[in-house]
Structure 1
Amino acid sequence: MAVSQTSVHLLPLLVVGIACVSSLALTTSNTTEVQHLPTLHNSTASTPANGIPGSCHGINLQDASRSMWMAADVFVRDLTCKRSDANASLSEELFLEMEQNIRHLVDSSLKAYLIQGDNQSRADLLEIFGVLDSLNLGDYRDPTFIRLWFSLKMAPLLPYVAQSFLVQLGNQNFSCSSYQQMMESMSTELQKTQGVDRELIYSNFIKVFLSRTNSPEPGCKDKSTGSEEWLQRNIGIFLKFATIKELKEMNNNFSAIEVLEKLSLQQKAELILDPDSGALEDVNFVREVLTSLKLSGQDEQLSQFFQTFAQISEKKNITFITNAAVRETILNISLTALAPAFEVFGAQEFQLWFQVYLVPVMPGLRPAYLWVIPKDISCASYMAILTGLQKTLNFPLPLELSMGINSSIEFLKETFPRCLTPESFTCKETVVDENLLCAEVNRSLVQQTLAADNSSAALCSFTITEHACSVADQLAPQNLATLLKCSLESQTTYPVEAWKLFFQKVSSSLNDTLQTFATMTSNNSRPALSNALDALREVRLANLSDAELQSRTVMGDLVQRVIGPFLASPSTNFLFCLSSYNFSCLTYQIVVKELSNQRQLMNSDKQQAVFTYFIKLFLSRKESSDPGCTLSSNGSQDWLQANLGSFAGFATVQDLQTLNPHVSTIEILSVLTPSQVVQLLISAGSSNDTTLIDLAFDRLEKCDALENLDEFLTQLSVNGQVGPSANHGLKTYQS
């Protein structure tokens, strides 16, 4: 087998090196590690004159391993010296090969030591082999020495480094070039070494060294051309363990935006919330940070980012982000990215996002953002979102934000009526903080202006809030009605708090004002009317006695002439609260009739809400003296018209039978919708009641027969099949 030229040079050197250990021990007895290491003088083995051991008793392979490490010390010192000698005859390739062979011997000796010995603590192991003390063998400000020292002394023990060792290492007076050489060597070593605690190295060596203020080059930043180069040379693969705050402390010139692509998700979250970055006031900066993420709802990046975002916000006591543009940018980008994932989200995921991750931006949530929520989510998922919105109202929010959250809650309830039960509702009452509401109102300006000019133009130049906070109680009913007209026509949406304070201030003339207003405007449905109607309920209806609630005169006048112009815009809360009032069946029917008169002004969601949150809830009340209001009705059709009005089509046949157990489906069949006819036929199952079937198809022939048939067939395909007689009737009808 051929022996390389390198090996011919190397083996004698190794033998000499090991043999020199004893003399090295004698000449350097003041160094700690040498006192622990065996020498050829103090070996316990006996060797006869012929050189052949007489007995292996007393031989300790651990001593041999440590001797090999001392030999490595000699090579670190001497090879460094040789490499720096301009007259050295050895080539660079030879130096590298020698280093690799010595490293192989060192690794093998360490393995032998570990096999032979008891478990040693990390600190003990590095002390036994004198790793730190071996730095004194050369100039540790010299990168060449540090590279060789790391390769032969520290790298083999890298998996065993302990906190105390790393802290001591970080306090050595390395030059920046030698420290950077060590970082380069360490990064290379870690690519092939397992079981090393990298965060331990960052926290106790890198951060310690770069944070020192007493070094010649604190932070090693002077020779770097920018933040990216500084990171590469001084932090490298350990970047993910650093915080933005630590990076800025180590390098006061550090710019996170320069290295945005290199930052972890956690660091990006910290960057946005860093007060020194100015991100919370800079929309473009926030957008750049967020779009640098791989925004895909199918991976974990977005959730990891927002998990850290929420945690840091809580630590910094950031209740919510106050800059509206920044808040909406975060909401828009994140919800758009999450939209595909919402399709497969369960209740737990919705809870995490709407009750934890998005908390700092939840106050900016408006109905438009909720369109991304799939309509087929579970009711548990719906409740998770709703709870997040309701918790947001516990923040000390400005009125416009609380109004947006209330609108979102309203939208959510209207979108998922199937998830709402009477037990899940509460009749929410509005608390008015006049000092907060009026804090920015210039009352004297309103008073002075209207004292000089009470024309319509002057009245309408101020908002409802400004009037409520100043001289509303001094205005005549005619002027108040004019103010209402122009305010509502302007489509300006005021919070319920503002309307409630306004109506409270003018309560003595409120009926006259609203009756005058009713003559000035036609009934219509506008978003601006909904909050006004909520406030009217709290100021007028909520204060009525039971006798007034059960008076046909009082209620007829109230719903027709007072709140009539607003009734086409009922909120879910308004309807639910209305269902809890102690109406008699007759006064309840007055309300239903007036709502029916305005049904055409409502969108389909509002129409459904009237049935779900008012009619169904009121008629389901068991404590009533006449549950379902069935006693005063003259037959099933009369009952249906009086108690459900034009909203009867939103009930299922099962609803009708539950609300009135005595209802005759035959009697009401002629007024049922095609969808309800399908439900009726399916409930009949395999019945051969030909009378019912004939009546059903007679109903379909009324009005627009083709449209009725289309709706009938569509509903039939959704709900299933009917009995054979009905199928026969359908074929006859189609022919």
Structure 2
Amino acid sequence: MFHSDPLQTEALEALRLLSPMQSAELVVLPLAEKDFIINAVFDYMTESPKERGLAEFVIHLVMFSGTAASHTVEPTALQHLLNSGQMNGRFCNYGIKEYACASVFMLTAQDLAAVMKCNSTGSRPVWKLFLSKTSGVLDAALDLLANTSMTMTGPSASVVLDVIGELRVSMLTDEQLGDSDVIRKWFSGRLRAFLPSASGRFLQCLSSRNLSCHTYQQVLQEFSHQFDHMNSQQQRLVLMELILPFLSQSGQGCVSNSSVYWLQNNFGSFSGLVSVRKFLDLNPGFSPVEAVGLLTPMQSAELVVLPLAQKDVINAVFDYLTASPKERGLAEFVSHLVMFSGKKNISCSSYQIIFTRLDQALPTLPLNVASSITYNKLALFQKVPPGCIIYSGECNFIPASEADICLGVNSTALQLLLNSGQMNGRFCEYVIEEYACASVSMLTAQDLAAVMTCNQSPSSTGSRHAWKLFLSKSFGVLDAALDLLANTSETVTGPSASVVLDVIGEMRVSMLTDEQLRDSDVIRKWFSGRLRGFLPSASGWFLQCLNSRNLSCHTYQQVLTEFSHQFDNMTSHQQHLVLNELIVPFLSGTD
């Protein structure tokens, strides 16, 4: 049955006499559509690929298969210029289809490099036909491109790389794929400019080849060097189609005793796109703490909420981030921590360590960083499981839930005025809940000072919670607003003064370190300045909390002097409150 066609039988028997070009023609002829003929040709060619011209056969096969692309193109004008040798740099005046359908044997490597720089739009079959015809100078053209600093961009870069992958990279033997010099020649040189545009097809083919760990790492480093030239979609494509497939299949051989080395050499610039959980899946011996300096703020937050995160892990992350909080992204870390806390079950002990470390860090942070962290700390407080005590003793802090506070609050009218910058002194026309539930990033220190002196009624639902939410949102200008109030002689009175002082005590005074509490200049700044106008309204909570802190005798006396200056501004009840909740307890507990 297989030999019923005499012409087919004769062709198969004559394979030894056919040239590579004739063998390619046999495969594409209509009579050669049967699988057994195609397989017979490849069986013959692959028995001795070099001697029987497998590479030339494939090139001619590409040329024959691409002839359909040339049927509708008339390359007369281009052909005339090519024949006359008078292109004179006009390579980009013609489309790639015209080149593919012309006779281009006279193109030099420089000419081909110039055509590839044009980024002409064309299909893969068209580019394949053209580059097959210019195969003789293709490597030299790629070498010329490699000696420039340019990156190939535009619609054609991905297609060209696909075709080069078929014509050249796919022809590399397993031995060559394990040879550092060969990989360097191709990926650090000839293909470098095209790598930012690598298609999923190219990456999948590359991942499926028998790269060694070392040559995979060479390839990965070249993609890493091009990371900034890729958009986020392209970066994830390299991760999903090359890095993860290779390491999932062959990566066990790439494991290193050093977690830093393993991360750098196997992920490079793409490591920030991978979850910590995935690192551990690929390499159970991976130590995130050892490699904490390479983790992004988001990965550090993920590490803290993983079940494996014990006290030493959480502290290691905070030690790293707080050593240089702005540069290492402490604020972003806390923001991501809030996000993860809504999805993970974090233990109470972990929350306690997290809040302790945040409280220790806040006093030392730049104001803009502290502002962001304070607001997110408030959000994180809402995720603490019931019964978990974060702050104990005299200074139990009050959590403030934005969702609860803002339920039913309409801040639209206020928001419109804030956005337009036309408050014009109307700060006291709106209740504190409206401010708390609005976006107040545009408020200045002067504006905040005006709001704090409005004497909002504490009878509105959740007033202290609302003040805490509002002052957390406006934390960035809080100190400056207090400084403005300190420069006036007036005392802040009214029903809201006590509540505001409680919240400031929680957000700022409680953040002062023991060293600062013994520093006369710090105490003077706060009690003789920023808090002075609020002291006549100090609550029992504020006084108890202050008394529980490690004031020295000298700084206690400074604080007491400021309360004494406000004695005549207090009611008799308030005077006795200061005596019973601050003075007597402090002196009773001091030797």
TM-score (norm 2): 0.47
Higher RCO (C-alpha 8 Å, min separation 6): 2
TM-score (norm 1): 0.38
